[in-house]
Structure 1
């Protein structure tokens, strides 16, 4: 059964920094793909230790990272390094080096670090995640304290756009642990296809940000300036049951719950919902049924399409308001810092 999550960010999933709470995980599986390819990739996975100082107190947490350039460029999960006062990276060789943050992307929950390497470091290739097929074998590589059995193999299930609305996460059965966040999900050839960021709340499935999305922002991430387009709404996927409950003569689309002030959606005149004593969410908002001629099926799919565009791009929305169809054009703005 698919593990579904609602549109709220990371609702139903847990991030995997070593200090995170985690439901008991099933026993790790031993990786079955060609050992050489996996061992080679594993040499490029590092342990990241983050130190936090606030109010005269010091705390530490840990996560994982992936060397993607022999000069010392490391890709990791954004929440591993967020608000850290200092960072250290332990290489596969055991050598420990200080690290600096080059850039972060809070939307995709990824970050880029750099260490001063005195020699070329083992690095891995970011492969095309779009080539994955349901049922393909994938392997999780990380530096979690509990990862004593080494790499863990699993099966790729699907691309999930709902856990973090619009962010393509690879859903798989590869077991991951606290401290694996920022580690690598690789294919049988040892190529990185995702960055581990979370698990489902029952601990059975893991989520990894797809490399296709990461490669699209990598140049901006290296420059330390990642910007994303923005529509400026909160919404909820309209199912047949929800449509029947609300008395809507529609079968799918996205119900707008809120239009954020001064957002592109607000400037275009889109309408959000209103508080309703019979429902635990705002109702009566516009329903988006299509964007640029493409049917809108889920909130995550709508958000993913917006993220695929550029700031300043126009998009044409087909909406239903109070039972009447209408069309409007929205000029996408820059997404505010989260």
Structure 2
């Protein structure tokens, strides 16, 4: 082979290598999208549909009580009237008292600002519930400067959404919802709102994370973004690059109250279901199964000898509810709902809430390590839930008995006196915690005086001796922690307590 041919062959090989490299690299490069040259066209299209939400609330101010000194009544009455005039200019003496002679309540106006967006040309507006909650008057300021009075069609405090309606003599500009599930981490987004009352303001960023649970409610699955979101942005829309609403800006994480690049938006797919119900019924229609539960943490899983921490640990069952009728018991771990494995804390309440009311749902529970399949009928979740009273234990309520200590807890038997003080039902059996060392394993987990231990690692305990024996038995088996089922203020909870490695 000639030198010329060798040279040509080398050039051919080098060229082939370059082409091969390009073929291998180019698909990855094709997936990477750079930032848009400008957001101006998109902003011009979207800004008219984003509004400022201004609310006014009347707050009653308690009058200051005047000193009661004989012979000085007229002086202090005139002094109080002068103060009233300074607080409420324009009100004469005749306005400071009601017909019955009693002083009128002083009032002041509290104003707050937020954002919203129009989703229908007839004047339907979406915002956050916390923007308009308890407002006496809601005014909408359009992008063109017009101000319109709004009425609240419906609101939902669980997902923090509200739907408003304004009347206009002509169709209003509006935006459409998009499918947030098509958006990925790293995609560009725009946030438009009314930060610090400055008016329509646009910021850009990316989706930083999805399905964020920030412990703000039972249905958390926020989209996280680094687009600048500040006070006043609440209720404003988050757009994708097609100009579709994929989120509703709701919260920020900030030690100072200002933007640090961590904002959260309600996903559009989750919001639309609630918005449609608010428009149709004025309230939400969510499913429920009638339980309270805790997430199965790694500590709880280890205490129950489970391979991994997942599922919902049932801490209470509503009497006569769907779960009760299906045979679900306190201490069961729900691991599947309608064939889907429960991996995150918020998955079960979201799935149940979105299930059609009256539908038969199949679930799988773990009961003392064994799988059990059950079927229940989804019920409707009531709008309001009653809070339980807080009971406490005083020194006088405790019996004069010997206290046994373990894992930083002081334990005593339940007595009639302590039962009455804690308002326990007659059928409750267990052991009373009378003291907790703050620096102990029990103290670190938040256990406190007045808690009642009713079971340890899913085994009932009725006496102090049974409790001590069970704890020592689990320690001897090499368990790193124990699972306590406790009753506190009438509510049931599960708490894991680790063994002290020093002992």
TM range (shorter): 0.7 to 0.9
Cα distance in 2 for residues equivalent to 1:35 and 1:191: 16
Contact 1:169/1:207 (<8 A) preserved: yes
Report what 1:266 is aligned to.
324
Partner SS state of residue 166, structure 1: coil
| Alignment counterpart, residue 253 of structure 2, candidates 200, 216, 219 | 200
Deviations 1:15-44, CA, capped at 9 Å, x for gaps? xxxxxxxxxxxxxxx997531112321221
Contact 1:240/1:250 (<8 A) preserved: no
Report what 1:289 is aligned to.
335
1:232 equivalent to 2:290? Answer yes
Q: Which has the higher helix share?
A: 2
Report what 2:203 is aligned to.
152
Structure ranking higher on relative contact order (CA contacts 8 Å, 6+ apart): 1
Contact 2:122/2:167 (<8 A) preserved: yes
| Alignment counterpart, residue 92 of structure 1, candidates 143, 155, 163 | 143
Stretches of 4+ moved more than 4 A in 1?
A: 30-33, 146-149
Partner SS state of residue 151, structure 1: strand
Deviations 1:66-94, CA, capped at 9 Å, x for gaps? 01112211111112112211111111111
| Alignment counterpart, residue 302 of structure 1, candidates 348, 351, 375 | 348
How far is the alpha carbon of 1:54 from its aligned partner? 4.2
How far is the alpha carbon of 1:297 from its aligned partner? 0.6
| Alignment counterpart, residue 71 of structure 1, candidates 109, 115, 122 | 122
Report what 1:46 is aligned to.
51
Report what 1:175 is aligned to.
228
TM-score (norm 1): 0.80
* Larger Rg, first or second structure (1 or 2): 2
Cα distance in 1 for residues equivalent to 2:200 and 2:234: 17
Give the direction of change, closer, same or farther, for the CA distance of 1:47–1:330 in structure 2 (3 Å limit): same
Contact 1:194/1:208 (<8 A) preserved: yes
1:1-338 → structure 2 map (5 Å cutoff): 34-55=39-60, 56-145=107-196, 150-160=201-211, 162-163=213-214, 164-202=217-255, 203-223=260-280, 224-244=282-302, 246-251=303-308, 252-272=310-330, 285-338=331-384
Mind listing any 5+ residue stretches in structure 1 that lack a counterpart? Answer: 1-29, 273-284
Deviations 1:275-324, CA, capped at 9 Å, x for gaps? xxxxxxxxxx2111111222111121112211221111121111112223
Mind listing any 5+ residue stretches in structure 2 that lack a counterpart? Answer: 1-34, 61-106, 385-503
Contact 2:52/2:200 (<8 A) preserved: no
Size of the aligned set, in residue pairs, is: 296
Cα distance in 2 for residues equivalent to 1:161 and 1:321: 30
Contact 1:229/1:332 (<8 A) preserved: yes
TM-score (norm 2): 0.55
Cα distance in 2 for residues equivalent to 1:131 and 1:187: 10
| CA RMSD, Structure 1 to Structure 2 (Å) | 2.4
Cα distance in 2 for residues equivalent to 1:229 and 1:88: 34
How far is the alpha carbon of 1:220 from its aligned partner? 2.3
Partner SS state of residue 299, structure 1: coil
**More off after superposition, 150-159 vs 188-197:** 150-159
Give the direction of change, closer, same or farther, for the CA distance of 1:121–1:316 in structure 2 (3 Å limit): same
Partner SS state of residue 75, structure 1: strand
How far is the alpha carbon of 1:57 from its aligned partner? 4.0
How far is the alpha carbon of 1:238 from its aligned partner? 1.8
Deviations 1:247-289, CA, capped at 9 Å, x for gaps? 33241222223334443223333233xxxxxxxxxxxx21111
Give the direction of change, closer, same or farther, for the CA distance of 1:142–1:159 in structure 2 (3 Å limit): same
Cα distance in 2 for residues equivalent to 1:262 and 1:31: 57
Cα distance in 2 for residues equivalent to 1:52 and 1:59: 5
How far is the alpha carbon of 1:58 from its aligned partner? 2.9
**More off after superposition, 213-222 vs 144-153:** 144-153
Partner SS state of residue 43, structure 1: helix
How far is the alpha carbon of 1:132 from its aligned partner? 0.5
Cα distance in 2 for residues equivalent to 1:33 and 1:263: 55
Contact 1:140/1:183 (<8 A) preserved: yes
